[in-house]
Each structure stands twice: as structure tokens, then as C-alpha cells.
Amino acid sequence: MAKRKQTKQAPEKSGPSIGKVRIIFTLMVLMGFGYFLFFLSNQAPEKPAAMPNMPAGQSAIKHDKPAPKVEVEAPKKEPVKKWSFHEELSNRKVEVETETVEQRPLKTYVMQCASFRSQAQAEELKAKIAFSGLQARIKESSKNGRTWYKVVLGPYQGKRAAEKDRHLLQRNRIEGCRIW
């Protein structure tokens, strides 16, 4: 006996097809739109047409009685407030003390990159700074009987110049420099 392959059949649809639903929906939308237009046409008041030779704002309907003229008084203008600040400021003299760049004392800044207990470590950092294109010096100081070797740069005439060199050192991976 030969075996038959069983195929799955799609279940039969019960109810209206999708095409019928679309047609009914479209008809309902069109009927609603038609009702909307009918509603608008009944709501608009009718205005008489203007004659081509008449100026704008007049209608073709003749009135037996002319419209009464109404006189309206213009509101009284209040007196304008006069501002006097421009007169006061133009007549006022102010004296300000200024100092020129030459009179101002120059503040110098120093940048310290590290402080070591051994001079060899300080010399090593000084060499790294020299490879980045800057000249450092080692400053020796004693505190509580201990000697410290500080690696410093400067003096700088302004903080901006010190910041510029600090950023150059940071790009060359030398971190921890402080400006004072």
C-alpha cells in the first residue's frame, strides 16, 4: 500500500472577507465627509454680492435710511514722561585711577614637578623634561634635617606661560606638575 502524504489545509475563514471590510470602511468615510460638507454649507451666512463698480465694503442692497453717524472722541493723550538720565550722564564727570602695565608689579610663577629624597631620581626627571624641550633645575632644600631635591621650572612672568609648559609636559606623559 502506498502512503499518502498528509498536507495541511488552511482553515476556512468564517465571516466577511478583508476586501468587503475595506469597501464598507471607505463608504463610511465618504459619507461622513459628505455630511461634513453639507453641514458647512448650511452654516455659512449668505452675503450679498458686491457690484463691480462699488467700492469695497459696500453691498448692493439699498437702505432707505442712512446709517446714523456716531462720533467717537479720541482718548486724551497722557503727557509723555521725559527721561532725564541721558542729560544727567552727559553732565557727570567720573575720575578713574588707572595703572599702566609698567606700573603694575609683575608676579612670577614657578612650576614644581616633583620632590625626591634621592638626587638620582631628580636627575632622571630633569632628563625627561629636557627631552620634551624644556629646561628644568634641581633645587635642594632641607626640612627637619632631611634633604629634598625639587625639580622646578621657571620663573614665568605670567601664569599663562606656565600653563603652556605644563600642557606640553602632560602631552609628553609627565604628570603632577603644580604651578605657584
Answer whether 158's CB lies under 8 Å from 147's CB: no
pLDDT score for 60 = 54
Render pLDDT for 7-20 as a digit per residue (tens, 0 to 9).
666 556 566 688 88
Answer whether 97's CB lies under 8 Å from 84's CB: no
Instruction: Give the three-state DSSP class for 126.
Output: helix
pLDDT score for 59 = 56
Task: Tell me what the mean pLDDT of segment 104-122 comes to.
Answer: 90
- Total residue length of the chain: 180
Q: Is 3.30.470.10 the CATH number for 109-179?
A: no
Task: Tell me what the mean pLDDT of segment 144-149 comes to.
Answer: 94
Percent of the chain with pLDDT over 90: 45
Confidence of residue 174 (pLDDT cuts 50, 70, 90): very high
Q: Nearest 5 degrees, angle CA 147-CA 153-CA 154?
A: 120
Beta strands in 24-156 (DSSP E): 109-116, 137-143, 146-156
- Parse the chain into domains and list their residue ranges: 109-179
pLDDT score for 71 = 81
Q: Which three cell numbers stand for residue 60?
A: 448692493
Q: Would the pLDDT of 58 be above 90?
A: no
Percent of the chain with pLDDT over 70: 75
Task: Tell me what the mean pLDDT of segment 106-131 comes to.
Answer: 94
Render pLDDT for 164-173 as a digit per residue (tens, 0 to 9).
999 999 999 9
Q: Which carries the bigger pLDDT value, residue 79 or residue 103?
A: 79
pLDDT score for 84 = 75
Confidence of residue 178 (pLDDT cuts 50, 70, 90): very high
Render pLDDT for 70-80 as a digit per residue (tens, 0 to 9).
787 877 777 77
